[in-house]
Chain A
Amino acid sequence: GAGVSQSPRYKVAKRGQDVALRCDPISGHVSLFWYQQALGQGPEFLTYFQNEAQLDKSGLPSDRFFAERPEGSVSTLKIQRTQQEDSAVYLCASSLGSGGAQETQYFGPGTRLLVL
């Protein structure tokens, strides 16, 4: 079946612009995660959803970052007033159950954001 998809794959924004990144998880997956991956680093956790509930947003770097999953499937990560330090790859992952310690997370191809 289809994997996790993300759009757009690439986004160039001018500093100060707002951007919206979309994630379509694997159908039926309960848990959805957003990660930020800077060049040469491993992914860093941003936020976690279980169905439509955002259970953990401790990794969001500032109040300019906002995520939602209103119907428990597609999720959007929004970044307001983008800054150059927001330039990174934003990865979405989903897992079948409630995101327990043993669960495999399946990653999408990511959105490469470049803020000029």
Chain B
Amino acid sequence: RKEVEQDPGPFNVPEGATVAFNCTYSNSASQSFFWYRQDCRKEPKLLMSVYSSGNEDGRFTAQLNRASQYISLLIRDSKLSDSATYLCVVNRTTDSWGKFQFGAGTQVVVTP
């Protein structure tokens, strides 16, 4: 079983709609969590960190559920430019540094 699992999608979302998806992780020692966005043939870019209390950045809301070991991302009022692959990243501290574990990504396609 992979340490970080995501629904690959694609999630086809009409422009203006809301979409949400989860990511599960297996290592309870995981310390921190991120969502990265990756456009086709581009590098991953940080979308947002995920905090224990949940956090919001504009149209994006991230939640962490430590008991069930998953994080979620919700996108409101979807824009065409939100079409991308969203990578879940889990980081656990090993010795003096943390190691990023990536999920395989969830593809979101926003349609006009």
Give me the interface of A with B, judged by CB distance under 8 Å. 31, 33, 35, 40-45, 48, 50, 55-56, 91, 98-110
Contact B44 A91 (CB under 8 A): yes
- Contact present for A102 and B32 (CB under 8 Å): yes
| Majority DSSP secondary structure for residues of A touching B | loop
Interface size on B, residues (CB 8 A): 27
Known: A42-B103, A101-B91. A50 touches B97 (CB 8 A): yes
**Could you count the A-B residue pairs with CB atoms below 8 Å apart for me: how many are there?**
68
**Residue B87 at the chain A interface, CB threshold 8 Å:** yes
Say yes or no: A101-B43 contact (C-beta < 8 A), given A42-B105, A43-B102: no
Bound together, the chains give a CA A48 to CA B87 distance in angstroms of 20
**A48 near B49 (CB under 8 angstroms)?**
no
Contact B31 A101 (CB under 8 A): yes
- Report whether over half of chain B's contact residues are helix, strand or loop; otherwise say mixed: strand
Give the interface centre of B97, B101, B103 by most chain A CB atoms within 10 Å.
Answer: B97
In angstroms, Cα B105 to Cα A109, docked, is 18
Q: Which residues does B use to contact A, with CB under 8 Å?
A: 4, 8, 31-32, 34, 42-46, 49, 87, 91-105
- Name 18 extra pairs, CB < 8 A, besides A48-B99, A102-B31, A105-B100: A33-B100, A41-B104, A42-B102, A42-B103, A43-B100, A43-B102, A44-B102, A45-B99, A45-B101, A50-B97, A91-B43, A100-B96, A100-B97, A103-B98, A104-B49, A107-B43, A107-B45, A109-B43
A43 and B91 in contact (CB under 8 A), knowing A31-B97, A55-B96, A56-B99?
Answer: no
